[in-house]
Amino acid sequence: MNTTTSGTATARDATGERVLTACHECDLLQRETAIPPGGTLRCCRCRAVLYRRRGRGFDRSLACALAACVLWLISNAYPIVGLAVNGDIVETTLIGAVRVLYRDGMWPLAGLILITTVVMPALQALGMVWLLLPLHLKRRPYRADAVFRLLRIARNWGMTEVLMLGLLVAVVKLAHIASVVTGPALWSLAALMLVLVAASSAFDERAMWLRITGAPPSIPTDKPLRGRTAAACGICVCHDCGLCSRGRQHHGHLCCPRCGAHLHLRKPASLSRTWAYLISAAILYIPANLLPVMNTSSLFGAQKDTIMSGVAYLWHSGSWPLAVIVFIASVAVPMLKIIAIAYLAASVNLRMTQQRTQRARIYRIVELVGRWSMLDIYVIAVLVALVQFSAMATIEAGPAAIAFGAVVVLTMFAAMSFDPRLIWDTQPQPQPEPKPQPQREAPR
């Protein structure tokens, strides 16, 4: 149960001891300490966030999730943006853009856009409603474990904020072709992005599990925690719900007793899978930047545009801030991600013991910026869907679009496959008695 003292709370197990936790990035065993509402608990070794205590309860998160469901319906039922040409208006929806790409044979690109902009935001909103509405009614959510794991996946792959930036870039480019007409879905998408962020920021996962399953069971340890890792004690930390346990067997796999996620002391074949994804991404990065991402046909001839030519077009048309953003998101970020993940994997292969904290920070940055590389994919989807004027002008996605989409997905898979705990496994070092560092954050 939770004990509250002077505005702070500390989770305790059935024996009254503070809950045992382990850092999901360096695996150091620690005991939780009291933090105020809106505060953050960080690992005392690598400074990774262990837990953020939300101070607003479930009601705000539930209200935002319900609003997100309504906004999602509007965003997919009405046009996003349109072009006014000779008195006629050509409009498109998200599903319409996916349909055009599929019709042109770009089904991998169509599937990627459908999943990241339509399916995952819907699962994110519905997942929070599924979990929080029964709790609001004083009931237990049905299959909370499976829905919670699905919600975690939806958060990683839902990219509404990247889509909004991509729409802004597409509108700037379309303004040089014809008059741009904004549709209702453009504004509802902007609102959907904001309410999803608000719902996620108010959603306290640990408080939810305390309401559903109660306080976590105590884990007996025969030795002091000083400098010991969870793996050394045979304890696994769940990367989904954060529970420390020895796991339970289910169909031949070790699973979390709370949320049912698969548990591993270390991710199996982490380095080999990371290198496989990374090498594939590095190979595809070359055609993604050399081949055309868009083929434009008009009365004045045909033109093939690469990613860099699109950046140059924005720069020379006076939209230099957007040119900088597109260059960073579509050229610099994928290249730097490949270099950063290669450095992390090589440092583990070489058993480097220097600059562990810096490498842990690099890993967090790679995880944070990975999704923004999808920017150019969304720009292409909108342009292809709208510029379809038969003999006057048409735009089709080029072969580099599929290669670039594959680079983005492969680098995200590489970051997910890499186990940051391997950075700290190379040479165990004695540590002081673990005392996680509480940190007060500004109210959101």
DSSP type of residue 233:
G
pTM of the model: 0.85
Q: What's the pLDDT score for residue 128?
A: 95
Q: What is the per-residue pLDDT across 273-291, written as a single tens digit (0 to 9) for each? A: 999 999 999 999 999 989 9
Q: What percent of the chain has pLDDT over 90?
A: 37
Nearest to 249 by CA among 236, 263, 238: 263
Q: What's the pLDDT score for residue 52?
A: 83
Segments of 211-358 assigned E as strands: 236-237, 244-245, 248-250, 253-255, 294-298, 301-305
Q: What's the pLDDT score for residue 22?
A: 86
Segments of 289-351 assigned E as strands: 294-298, 301-305
pLDDT band at 10; cut points 50, 70, 90:
very low
What does the chain come to in residues? 444
Q: What's the pLDDT score for residue 302?
A: 66
In single-letter form, the type of residue at position 71 comes to L
Q: What's the pLDDT score for residue 8?
A: 38
Q: What is the per-residue pLDDT across 145-165, written as a single tens digit (0 to 9) for each? A: 999 999 999 999 999 999 998
d(CA 416, CA 431): 28
d(CA 50, CA 39): 11
Say whether pLDDT at 442 is over 50. Answer: no
**Residue 284 buriedness (CB in 10 A; 0-12 / 13-18 / 19+):** buried
Q: Domains in the chain, start-ordered, CATH in brackets?
A: 57-217 (no CATH), 269-427 (1.20.140)
Token pair belonging to 200:
């996620």
Instruction: Give the pLDDT mean for 120-132.
Output: 95
Q: What percent of the chain has pLDDT over 70?
A: 86
Asked if 79 and 136 touch (Cβ cutoff 8 Å), the reply is: no
pLDDT band at 318; cut points 50, 70, 90:
confident
